């Protein structure tokens, strides 16, 4: 019984050992004292015009989250499209309910003003 776990333990040891060895090797190979140019924020030659810690409005994050939510919901349509013929009318009804819920969410977000940029 325990003989079956030996490959798993070997894989576990290798999975832990590999990143540790790579990080130690990288620390030994890299230069210890980087130059002033390397410490600059941008090496392309263009100096920063302002501080990079500017504030964004909450609306920016709300629109970004809504985009991700609706985009991920749209990705769920792909497996349905692949099996469209096999699912038949049940699949059509199922996706209609899914899209109805998605549209209700979109209309709700629109009425709440979450999609207004200004």
pLDDT digits (tens, 9 = 90+) for 85-100: 888 888 889 889 988 9
- The residue range of the domain holding 91 is 58-111
pLDDT the model gives residue 26:
92
Total domains, the chain:
2
d(CA 64, CA 57): 12
pLDDT in tens, 14-39: 999 999 999 999 999 987 777 776 66
Kindly state whether residues 70 and 102 are assigned to the same domain.
Answer: yes
CA count, 13 A, side-chain hemisphere, 87: 13
- 117: pLDDT strictly greater than 80: no
> Same domain for 68 and 102?
yes
What's the CATH number where 91 sits? 1.20.58.1610
Cβ pair 74, 103 in contact under 8 A: no
pLDDT score for 118? 64
CA 26/CA 100 separation, integer angstroms:
53
**80: helix, strand or coil:** helix
Query: Does one domain contain both 98 and 71?
Result: yes
Q: At what angle do helices 58-75 and 84-111 cross, to 10 degrees?
A: 170
Q: Quick check: is 74 in a domain? A: yes
Token pair belonging to 102? 């998605």
Rounded to two decimals, the pTM is 0.45
50 located within any domain? no
Query: In terms of domains, do 27 and 62 share one?
Result: no
Q: Is the pLDDT of residue 11 over 90?
A: yes
Do 80 and 87 contact (CB within 8 A), yes or no? yes
């Amino acid at each position: 019984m325990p003989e079956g776990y030996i490959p798993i333990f070997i894989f576990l040891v290798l999975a832990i050992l590999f990143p540790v060895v790579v990080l130690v090797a990288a620390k030994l190979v890299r230069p210890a004292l980087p130059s002033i140019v390397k410490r600059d924020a941008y090496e392309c030659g263009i100096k920063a015009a302002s501080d990079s810690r500017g504030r964004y409005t909450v609306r920016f994050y709300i629109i970004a989250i809504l985009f991700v939510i609706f985009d991920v919901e749209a990705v769920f349509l792909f497996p349905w499209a692949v099996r469209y013929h096999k699912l038949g009318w049940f699949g059509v009804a199922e996706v209609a309910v899914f899209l109805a819920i998605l549209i209700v969410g979109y209309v709700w977000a629109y009425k709440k003003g979450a999609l207004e940029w200004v």
